[in-house]
Amino acid sequence: MKPKLILLFLSYFTAINCDAQETVTFTTLEEVYAYAEANSISFRNASQQSILVKYQTLASKLGMFNLKGTGSFTLTDNIKLNPNFIPAEVFGGPEGTFRTITFGQKYVSNFTFEPQIDLINPYAIAQIKVSKANEQLTAVTNLLTKKEVYESISAAYHNILSYRWQIDVATKSLDNAESLVFFLQNKQKEGLARSQDVNTTLANQLLVKDKLQQLEIQLQQQYNGLKILCDINPGTDIIIAGNENPVLDIQLPIKATGDLLQRQGEWQTKYQQATLRANKRWMYPTLNLFSSFSWQESNNNNWFGTNNWFGSNYIGLKVSIPILPEVSKIATVKQNRINLEIAQNNWNHNKLQDQINNNQLELDYRKAYESYKINTEIEALQKDSYEKNLNIYLEGIISATDLINSFEDWLNSSLNTVALIASVEYAKSKIIISNTIK
């Protein structure tokens, strides 16, 4: 009974694990994008980066005033006060002599608060524009990251569709290959087919099986790639529904209008301009308002013995002007000028690169579409050739090898057709991504 009980418990826990298996279902590519934006670490990090630069802008605005306020509270026990020598004539003594007097009290309590604020600080004011430019630059950089992730997701998504469609084609071809083997085996029993012909069809059947298992493994690899891009748990099953049959949605021509690279170059240039403008203001004067508010209580008995506090306050303006040049700051300004020139060159290059990239996207789409059209014609011809070769093989005109060769040609062209449909859709999705992420 014990082995049976063990098996019963094992089957029970296996059933629980099966029920707990999570499943994520997508019906469109847009649903995959939405899932990735909600769960992908790449998008989360980009969001945190945007928050970070906004805090930096806020810090720059507050830093324009450079508000400071230090407070101190001290308790002093004058164990032994320093003696002071006063001319004795002050007290009616002989001229030229001194009298020892001790000033101060034993216990002294002191509280001081010293606030200050910059009324005019050209460098700090210029840093606000630097932070704002960096905020815009980060936003465009995050869009470029989003575009790259979307393109990778689209590639994995369409590869999954491609392999699924190819598996369907290979499965149907395997049925045909098995039927052909069964047919020739019966012919051999009747003495109408050679064993070599049967072996040829059996080898063909095995080749189709191998092709099928390769496609299934490649499909699983693409699912794993999609899980990485969307940060989906490895144990979660992904179902892509609604695309069981390959249907090409033709939309020629599609114009690509992406401009993220040149926008990145533009804001990189503005950022360098703002940085140069800020660092050039290191020599400008700064106007500062400073003040001090203090309260003191002292006696010879103990701390806070009289609870009688005396206050002293002052307020003033200070203008700070750098007189001697700082070599490091001069070098920084020169470096900023070079960085600005590099940014301007990159901006011009990015404008050209965006134009070429847009043209390349359109060419890729047209190329995939034209290849698909040609391959559909090839597939129809290969299918017709195989059907005719099957008939003339039965008449003994061609060999089994020629028949299998035509079968393989038909299979390969059928696989290429569905793969090219996925390629066309992927090329179209890249243009849509480029046009919509701005």
Q: Residue 15: what pLDDT?
A: 40
Q: Are 172 and 371 in contact (CB under 8 A)?
A: no
The pLDDT of residue 21 is 65
Report the relative pairing of strands 68-77 and 107-120 from DSSP bridges: antiparallel
Task: Name every residue whose Cβ is closer than 8 Å to that of residue 304 and which is 6 or more positions away in sequence.
Answer: 109, 297
- As to burial, measured by CB atoms within 10 angstroms (0-12 exposed, 13-18 middle, 19+ buried), residue 161 is buried
Which stretches within 91-235 are classed as H helix?
A: 122-189, 195-230
Q: Which amino acid is at 210?
A: D
Three-class DSSP category at 77: strand
Residue 53 C-alpha from the chain's centroid: 15
Burial class (CB in 10 A: 0-12, 13-18, 19+), 324: exposed
Helix axes 122-189, 41-63, angle to 10 degrees: 180
Amino acid identity, position 337? R
Sign of the dihedral through C-alpha 265, 270, 273, 275: negative
Q: Give the HSE-up count for residue 204: Cα atoms under 13 Å, Cβ half-sphere.
A: 30
Q: Are 390 and 403 contacting, i.e. CB atoms less than 8 angstroms apart?
A: yes
Question: Peptide bond preceding 253: is omega within 30 degrees of 0, i.e. cis?
Answer: yes
d(CA 153, CA 150): 5
Quote the Cα angle for 335-343-145, to 5°: 120
- Cβ neighbours around 270 below 10 Å, total: 20
Looking up tokens 């006063």 gives 86
The answer to pTM > 0.85 is no
Q: Longest C-alpha distance within the chain, in Å?
A: 154
Contacts of 111 (CB under 8 A, 6+ apart): 71, 72, 73, 74, 294, 295, 296
Q: Which residue has the tokens 């060159």?
A: 345
Which amino acid makes up residue 343? A
Tell me, what amino acid is at 185? Answer: Q
CA angle 350, 352, 353 (to 5 degrees): 60
Residue 312: strand pairing partners = 294
Rounded Cα distance between 275 and 280, Å, is 9
Q: How many helices (DSSP H) and strands (DSSP E) are in the chain?
A: 8, 8
- pLDDT tens-place values along the chain, 438 residues long: 444 444 444 444 444 444 456 899 999 999 999 999 999 999 999 999 999 999 999 999 998 998 889 999 998 888 877 777 777 776 667 777 777 777 777 888 899 999 999 999 999 999 999 999 999 999 999 999 999 999 999 999 999 999 999 999 999 999 999 998 998 888 888 877 788 888 999 999 999 999 999 999 999 999 999 999 999 999 999 999 877 777 776 666 689 999 999 999 999 999 999 999 999 998 899 999 999 999 998 888 887 777 788 889 999 999 999 888 788 989 999 999 999 999 999 999 999 999 999 999 999 999 999 999 999 999 999 999 999 998 898 888 888 889 999 999 999 999 999 999 999 999 999 999 999 998
